[in-house]
């Protein structure tokens, strides 16, 4: 089940003059500092980021957390796009769409070939071309120990997981990660969907409420608390 | 919590929530402007105390007559006669309110005779107002869209009422005269019989004296009774005949038309109508807006606040990321991430 985001407020708000370098909203990075600490901060080794459905800002949060690892803690970070059913990272970050995770899973390329640098200390592994069997590509990558191998090269590995609902293996994949962040977009996802997706994950993940905003004027917020 | 969500919904969709209110007010204003102008005509009638029945002496004539007028209006024949005499029945007066507006936009099939009469009666009921002003003065106020009809209806109403009332009283007086005449006739017959019986008895018994003969005494008493009955009834008959004759005189009906209604030369002010219409529109719009606001709030089952998420999942969120607005930071492939407004590089 996919929903259309109510507002395209992303980590990425533009590119520089040559159209190559993505710009990250400073406000977004500032907003993600506290959640970054909550999921491990400078000690974080591995983090899966998931959500109930598409469009909850999962990828944006994952990217911001990866950038913060480098920027705030001086650590190296890699962002892995495991949402192979609907890959979007390459397009959003102006990266090559392949080779990526799927190609590496089928042993078509080496790990070095799939890692694309984003900025100093931050690399990205895009989904690549999953072909007809995206689930198999994911299981192959896990079987071949992708996360472990990346963990040896980077201080932190952040995985952009598919949403729990709507993807048959979404919950199963999320349960593979001990450190899991469950993103809920404010004002978008129905409460029942959030509850159902949250209950489908065996180990209760950490929850992040994304894109909160109040339409109330300040005086009214103060008045009604 | 509901209050906050209602307020948030309102500020999130202000046009959607306020739309029905604005639409309702504008629509009501539009409908008021489409309404034809109204004209008011007033006829004034004075009723003397003599118009009251004996049992109505505790009430003022104006109150009694106003009640009678309203009672007459409640019948079918009276308003129909007024409609006919005033020319309303022949006129094609538009219906008041929204029906009239719709009728002008979408003309309907012509009415049957009975439907036309029904419409005329309804129009009479809607147009006429009867007020007792002071102890003996009654105002008949008519408001319609046609100034001539307004005056016509007011005058027709007043004259028809007087005519009906006088006719009723004349009938009553005539019935009374007839009743007393019958009584006198019967009493005269009884007297004649009593006299004959007495004469026959005296002729048959010439030697009898009254003091000793009980039959003779009885016959004489019967004759006396018959005579006294006639003597009692005759003044009543005379009075009833006098009253009947009085009613037939035009200046003795007890009703005086003080003011005939004249054709109004300008329409009534619309300020009150506009105020009431816009007020009603605003109230209706507010109700619809409140309903829309409530439905939108209830229909929105999404999680919006940290507390709601905590209550839903039973776990405190690890963080809250507010919706960001663009103060971009350039992420360079080659260099450190720096604060870098988009406009600076251009």
Give the tens place of pLDDT for each residue, A116-138: 998 889 999 999 988 878 889 99
CB within 8 Å of B222: residues ≥ 6 apart: B194, B197, B198
Domain span holding position A202: 5-224
Nearest to A47 by CA among A150, A134, A139: A150
B330 to A16: CB separation less than 8 angstroms, yes or no:
yes
Sheet architecture: strand order including A206-212: A115-119, A122-125, A77-81, A156-160, A46-51, A180-185, A206-212, B319-322
Quote the pLDDT of residue B261: 92
A-chain residues within 8 Å CB-CB of B334?
120
Q: Which pLDDT belongs to residue A220? A: 81
ipTM: 0.84
pLDDT tens for A98-108 read: 899 999 999 99
| Distance, C-alpha B159 to centroid of its chain | 20
Contact status of A170 with chain B (Cβ, < 8 Å) = no
Q: Which stretches of chain A are DSSP H helices?
A: 26-31, 33-38, 58-73, 89-93, 101-105, 111-114, 134-143, 146-153, 170-174, 191-200, 218-224
The CATH code of the domain that includes A32 is 3.40.50.300
Compare CB distances from A31 to B8, B318, B322 and report the shortest one's residue: B322
CB-based contact A205:A161 (threshold 8 Å): no
Whether the pTM exceeds 0.90: the reply is no
* Run means of pLDDT, 10 residues per run, chain A, 225 residues: 38 57 75 90 94 91 93 94 90 90 92 92 92 87 92 95 88 91 90 92 91 79 74
Residues 265-324 of B with CB under 8 A from A: 300-306, 308-309, 312-313, 315, 317-324
pLDDT at residue B193, as a whole number: 92
> Strand A46-51 and strand A180-185: pairing?
parallel
Asked whether the beta carbons of residue A24 and residue B332 sit closer than 8 angstroms, the reply is no
Walk along chain B (346 residues) and give the pLDDT tens digit of each residue. 778 888 888 888 888 888 999 999 999 998 888 888 889 999 999 887 766 666 666 778 888 889 989 999 999 999 999 999 988 888 766 666 666 667 777 776 677 788 888 888 988 998 999 999 888 899 999 999 889 999 999 999 999 998 888 888 889 889 999 999 999 999 999 999 999 988 898 888 877 666 678 888 888 898 999 999 999 999 999 998 888 888 777 666 778 888 999 999 999 888 888 899 999 999 999 999 999 999 988 888 888 888 889 999 988 888 888 887 654 444 444 433 333 333 333 3
Question: Containing H/E element for B77?
Answer: helix B77-86
**What distance in Å separates residue A108's CA from the closest CA in chain B?**
26
Domains identified in chain A, total number: 1
Q: What angle do CA A111, A114, A117 make, to 5 degrees?
A: 110
Q: Is the bond preceding residue A154 a cis peptide, omega within 30 degrees? A: no
CA of B306: which chain A residue's CA is closest?
A209
Residue A150: exposure state from Cβ atoms within 10 A (0-12, 13-18, ≥19): buried
Q: What is the pLDDT of residue B342?
A: 37
Residue carrying structure tokens 């890959």: A87
Residue of chain B nearest A207, judged by CA positions: B317
User: Does any CB of chain B come closer than 8 Å to the CB of residue A178?
Assistant: no
Q: Does B4 touch chain A (CB under 8 A)?
A: yes
Residues B256-270 pLDDT 10s: 888 999 999 999 888
Between the CA of residue A118 and those of A42, A143, B212, B291, B294, what are the distances in Å?
20, 26, 154, 51, 47
CB contact under 8 A, A71 and B337: yes
C-alpha A209/C-alpha A58 separation (Å) is 11
Q: In angstroms, what separates the C-alpha of A220 from chain B's closest C-alpha?
A: 9
| Parallel/antiparallel/unpaired status of strands B255-259 and B319-322 | unpaired
Task: Look at strands A206-212 and A122-125 and give their pairing.
Answer: unpaired
Strand order in the sheet with B128-133: B128-133, B137-144, B39-47, B255-259
């Amino acid at each position: 089940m996919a929903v259309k985001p109510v507002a395209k407020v992303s980590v990425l708000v533009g590119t520089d003059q040559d159209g190559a370098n993505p710009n990250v909203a400073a406000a977004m990075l500032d907003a993600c500092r506290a959640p970054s600490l909550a999921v491990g901060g400078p000690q974080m080794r591995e983090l899966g980021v998931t959500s109930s459905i598409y469009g909850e800002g999962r990828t944006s949060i994952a990217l911001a957390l990866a950038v913060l690892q480098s920027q705030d803690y001086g650590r190296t970070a890699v962002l892995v796009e495991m949402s192979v059913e609907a890959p979007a990272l390459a397009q959003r970050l102006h990266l090559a769409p392949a080779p990526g995770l799927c190609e590496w899973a089928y042993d078509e390329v080496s790990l070095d070939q799939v890692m694309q640098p984003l900025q100093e200390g931050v690399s990205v592994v895009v989904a690549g071309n999953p072909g007809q069997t995206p689930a198999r590509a994911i299981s192959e990558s896990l079987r071949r120990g992708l996360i472990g191998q990346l963990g040896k090269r980077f201080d932190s590995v952040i995985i952009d997981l598919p949403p729990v609902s709507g993807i048959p293996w979404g919950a199963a994949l999320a349960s593979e990660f001990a450190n899991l962040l469950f993103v809920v977009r404010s004002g978008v996802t129905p409460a029942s969907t959030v509850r159902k997706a949250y209950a489908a994950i065996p180990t209760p993940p950490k929850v992040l409420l994304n894109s909160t905003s109040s339409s109330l004027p300040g005086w009214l917020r103060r008045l009604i608390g | 919590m509901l209050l906050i969500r209602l307020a948030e919904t309102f500020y999130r969709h202000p046009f959607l929530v306020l739309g029905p209110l604005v639409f309702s007010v504008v629509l009501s204003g539009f409908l008021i402007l489409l309404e034809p102008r109204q004209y008011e005509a007033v006829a004034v009638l004075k009723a003397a105390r003599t118009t009251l029945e004996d049992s109505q002496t505790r009430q003022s004539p104006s109150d009694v007559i106003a009640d009678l007028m309203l009672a007459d209006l409640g019948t079918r024949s009276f308003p129909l006669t007024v409609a006919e005499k005033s020319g309303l029945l022949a006129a094609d007066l538009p219906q008041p309110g929204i029906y009239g507006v719709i009728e002008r936009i979408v003309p309907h099939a012509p009415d049957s005779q009975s439907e036309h009469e029904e419409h005329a009666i309804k129009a009479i009921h809607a147009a006429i107002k009867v007020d007792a002003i002071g102890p003996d003065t009654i105002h008949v106020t008519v408001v319609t869209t046609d100034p001539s009809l307004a005056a016509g209806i007011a005058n027709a109403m007043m004259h028809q009422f007087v005519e009906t009332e006088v006719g009723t009283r004349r009938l009553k007086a005539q019935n009374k005269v007839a009743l007393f005449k019958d009584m006198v006739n019967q009493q005269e017959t009884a007297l004649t019989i009593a006299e004959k019986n007495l004469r026959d008895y005296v002729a048959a018994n010439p030697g009898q004296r009254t003091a000793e003969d009980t039959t003779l005494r009885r016959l004489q008493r019967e004759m006396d009774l018959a005579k006294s009955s006639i003597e009692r009834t005759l003044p009543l008959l005379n009075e009833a005949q006098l009253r009947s004759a009085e009613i037939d005189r035009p200046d003795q009906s007890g009703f005086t038309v003080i003011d005939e209604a004249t054709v109004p030369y300008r329409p009534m002010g619309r300020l009150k109508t506009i105020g009431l219409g816009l007020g009603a529109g605003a109230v209706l719009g507010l109700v619809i807006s409140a309903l829309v606001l409530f439905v939108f709030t209830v229909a929105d089952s999404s999680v919006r606040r940290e507390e709601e998420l905590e209550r839903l999942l039973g776990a405190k969120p690890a963080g809250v990321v507010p919706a960001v607005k663009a103060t971009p930071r350039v992420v360079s492939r080659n260099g450190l991430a720096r604060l870098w407004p988009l406009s600076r590089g251009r």
